[in-house]
Amino acid sequence: MQKQLAKMKQSLFDQGYLDEQFIQLEDLQDDANPNFVEEVVTLYYRDSVRLVQNIEQALEKNPLDFSKLEGYMHQFKGSSSSFGAKKVKTECTQFREYCRAGNAEGCKRTFQELKKEYATLKKKLEVYFQLARQAGPVEKACRPK
Amino acid sequence: MSGGVTTEMKFHVLAVDDSIIDRKLIERLLKTSSYQVTVVESGVKALEYLGLLDDEKSNTKSDTNSTTWNQNEIQVNMIITDYCMPGITGYDLLRKIKESTVLKDIPVVIMSSENVPSRINSCLEHGAEDFFLKPVQQSDVNKLRPHLMREKEKGKENQFNSINKRKPIEECLSPDRTRIRFNNDLVA
pLDDT value of position B53: 80
pLDDT digit string, tens, across residues B80-122: 999 999 999 999 999 999 999 999 999 999 999 999 999 999 9
Residue A145 burial class via C-beta count within 10 angstroms: exposed 0-12, middle 13-18, buried 19 and up: exposed
Q: Does residue B64 surpass a pLDDT of 80?
A: no
Residue B82 near residue B22, CB atoms below 8 Å: yes
CA-to-CA distance for A142 and B67, rounded, in angstroms?
39
Residue B111 near residue B81, CB atoms below 8 Å: yes
Q: Does residue B60 surpass a pLDDT of 50?
A: no
pLDDT digit string, tens, across residues B123-174: 999 999 999 999 999 999 999 988 888 877 775 555 555 445 454 544 444 4
pLDDT value of position A144: 66
Which residues of A have a CB under 8 Å from any CB of B?
A: 21, 24-25, 27-28, 30, 33, 36, 39-40, 43-44, 47, 74-75, 77-79, 81-84
pLDDT value of position B165: 46
CA-to-CA distance for A15 and B154, rounded, in angstroms?
51
When CB atoms are compared, the residue of A47, A74, A84 closest to B20 is: A47
Q: Does residue B57 surpass a pLDDT of 60?
A: no
CA-to-CA distance for A39 and B187, rounded, in angstroms?
47
Task: Report chain A residues whose CB lies below 8 A from the CB of B29.
Answer: 28
Q: Which of residues 13-42 of B touch A (CB under 8 A)?
A: 19-22, 24-25, 28-29, 32
Q: Which residue from B minimizes the CA distance to A81?
A: B135
3-state secondary structure B53-99: CCHHHHHHCCCCCCCCCCCCCCCCCEEEEECCCCCCCHHHHHHHHHH
Q: Residue B156 gets which letter from DSSP?
A: I
**Is there a contact between A75 and B138 if contact means CB atoms under 8 Å apart?**
no
Strand order in the sheet with B130-133: B36-40, B12-16, B78-82, B108-112, B130-133
Q: The dihedral of CA B51, B54, B58, B63: what is its sign?
A: negative
CA-to-CA distance for B145 and B33, rounded, in angstroms?
9
**Complex-level ipTM:** 0.91
When CB atoms are compared, the residue of B19, B28, B29 closest to A79 is: B19
pLDDT value of position B68: 47
Task: Report chain B residues whose CB lies below 8 A from the CB of A25.
Answer: 25
pLDDT value of position A140: 53
Strand B130-133 and strand B108-112: the pairing is parallel
Residue B66, by phi and psi: left (phi above 0), alpha (psi -120 to 50) or beta?
A: alpha
Q: Does residue B175 surpass a pLDDT of 50?
A: no
Strand partners, A85: A18
CA-to-CA distance for B91 and B85, rounded, in angstroms?
9
pLDDT digit string, tens, across residues A57-81: 999 999 999 999 999 999 999 999 9
pLDDT value of position B74: 76
CA-to-CA distance for A31 and B116, rounded, in angstroms?
38
Count of other CB atoms within 10 angstroms of residue B120: 18
Q: Regarding predicted confidence, which is higher, A123 or B6?
A: A123
pLDDT digit string, tens, across residues B21-49: 999 999 999 999 999 999 999 999 999 99
Strand partners, B109: B80, B130
Chain centroid, CA B151 distance in Å: 11
Q: Does residue A143 surpass a pLDDT of 70?
A: no
CA-to-CA distance for B1 and B21, rounded, in angstroms?
42
Share of chain B above pLDDT 70, in %: 66
Share of chain A above pLDDT 70, in %: 94
- Domains in chain A (CATH in brackets) are 2-135 (1.20.120.160)
Neighbouring C-alpha atoms within 13 Å toward the C-beta of A96: 16
